Amino acid sequence: MFKLLFLFVGLLTLVLIVWYIGPGQIFDAAAQLGPIALLVMLIPSIIMYVVEAYGWKVTLGPSAKSIPFWRVLAIRTAGEVVNMTTPTAYVGGEPLKAYLLKKQNVPIVEGLASVIIAKTTMTIAEVLFILLGIALAVWLLGGSDSSGQTVAAALVSVGLLAFGTAAFVFMQRRGLFTWLLEFLRKIKVNIAYLEAREEQLRSLDRTILEFYRHNRPAFYSSTTLFFLGWMAEALEVYVIIYFLGGPAMALSAISIGALSVFIKGGTFFIPGSLGAQDGGNMLVLSIFGYSDVTGITFALLRRFRELVWIGVGLLCLALAGGSAAVIREGRADDLRNSS
C-alpha cells in the first residue's frame, strides 16, 4: 500500500515539475539531441556496469573463477534491475545474484558472501564519492549561508551513512548472522526459518571473515573499482550537460554526480526514486547555475538511460531463467537443501 502511495506521489511530483517548466521547452531542449548523442550518453553507464561487475568479480570465491566475465556481468545486470525498480534500499536484487550464481555451480554460501562483501565495498566507495562531491561543491560554490546550511546537513547525513557502513563492516568481522541469531534468542524471539539454517549462517559468517582476513588486496581492489564506477556517473553528467549546450566542467560534473547519488540513495523508499530524484537533479543543477529547463531535461535523459538498462536487465533475467516465481521457488529449495 505504501509503495503504491509513494509511487503515485512521485509520479505526480514529476508530472507537476514537467508542467511547471513547460513540456514545450523540455521538448525543444531534447529535440536538439540526435540518435548519435543518445548513444554517446549511454557510454558512461556501459563503463560503469563493466567496471562494477569487475568490482564484484574480485570478491568471488574460487568456485567462481571459471565463470566467464560476461556471465558475471549479465548476472549483476539482472540483479540491478530488481534494485532499480523496487523500494528495498537497493538491496532487493542481491539475493537474486547469489541464486543465479548457484545456477553456475557456485555454492549459495559463497555467492551470498560475495554479494555482501561487494555491497560493502560499493557503499564505501559511494561514501568517498559523495564526500568528494561535497568538498568540490564547497570549493566551487563558496560558503554562503544557505549553501553552508545545505552542506552541513549533507555532511551530517553522509557521516551517518559512513558510520553505518563502518558498523556493518565491524559486525561482519564479528560474525553478523551469528550475532543476529544470538541476539534474537536473548530477546526471546524465535524465527524458525533462521533457526533451521543456523549452520549455514555460521558458514556464511566464516566465509566473509576469511575474505577480510586473507584477501585484503581484493577488498581494496573492489573498493577502487566501485569508486571508478561512481566516477563514471560523473562522466555521464559531463556528457549530458555537454550535449544540452553546457557549459560542461569536469569538477562540477563530479560534484553534481555525487550529489545526485546522495539524493537517490536518500529516497530509496520511493520506487525508482520517482519524482524525488528528478526534482533533486533539477535543484542541484540550478545551484550550479543551470536553467530549470536544462535541469529537468538532464533528469529525464538519465531516466532514459535507466529505462535502457532496465530493458537490458530484464533481458538478462529472462535469459538466466529468472522469472519471479522460479527465483522464489529455487532460492527456497537451495536454502532448504543446504541447511
Three-state secondary structure along 146-163?
Answer: HHHHHHHHHHHHHHHHHH
Taking alpha carbons only, the member of 207, 171, 190 closest to residue 98 is 207
What pLDDT score does 90 carry? 61
Beta strands in 180-328 (DSSP E): none
18 pLDDT more than 80: no
In a domain, 10, yes or no: no
In a domain, 268, yes or no: yes
Beta strands in the chain (DSSP E): none
Taking alpha carbons only, the member of 99, 126, 158 closest to residue 223 is 126
In a domain, 267, yes or no: yes
In a domain, 305, yes or no: yes
- Amino acid making up residue 296: I
Q: Which residue has the cell 559468517?
A: 205
Band of residue 134 on the pLDDT scale cut at 50, 70, 90: confident
Lowest mean pLDDT among 101-110, 182-191, 262-271: 262-271
Asked whether 96 and 322 are in contact (CB, 8 A), the reply is yes
323 pLDDT more than 50: no
Rg (CA), the chain: 21
What pLDDT score does 336 carry? 44
Band of residue 144 on the pLDDT scale cut at 50, 70, 90: low
What pLDDT score does 337 carry? 42
Lowest mean pLDDT among 20-34, 283-297, 304-318: 20-34
Distance CA 179, CA 184 (A): 9
32 pLDDT more than 70: yes
Mean pLDDT across the chain, nearest whole number? 81
Percent of the chain with pLDDT over 70: 85
The grid cell for 268 is 530509496
pLDDT greater at residue 87 or residue 171:
171
What pLDDT score does 62 carry? 78
Distance CA 165, CA 99 (A): 25
State residue 225 phi and psi, 5-degree precision.
Answer: -65, -40
What pLDDT score does 45 carry? 94
Band of residue 327 on the pLDDT scale cut at 50, 70, 90: very low
- Amino acid making up residue 193: Y
In a domain, 251, yes or no: yes
Q: How far apart are the first and last CA of the chain?
A: 34
The grid cell for 332 is 527456497
In a domain, 19, yes or no: no
Domain count along the chain: 1
Length reported for the chain:
339
Average pLDDT value for residue range 77-82: 88
Band of residue 240 on the pLDDT scale cut at 50, 70, 90: very high
Taking alpha carbons only, the member of 126, 130, 100 closest to residue 112 is 100
Q: How many CB atoms lie within 10 A of CB 69?
A: 11
CA dihedral sign of residues 29, 249, 225, 177: negative
Report which DSSP code applies to 59.
T
What pLDDT score does 338 carry? 42
Owning domain of residue 183: 33-338
132 pLDDT more than 80: yes
What pLDDT score does 326 carry? 41
What pLDDT score does 233 carry? 92
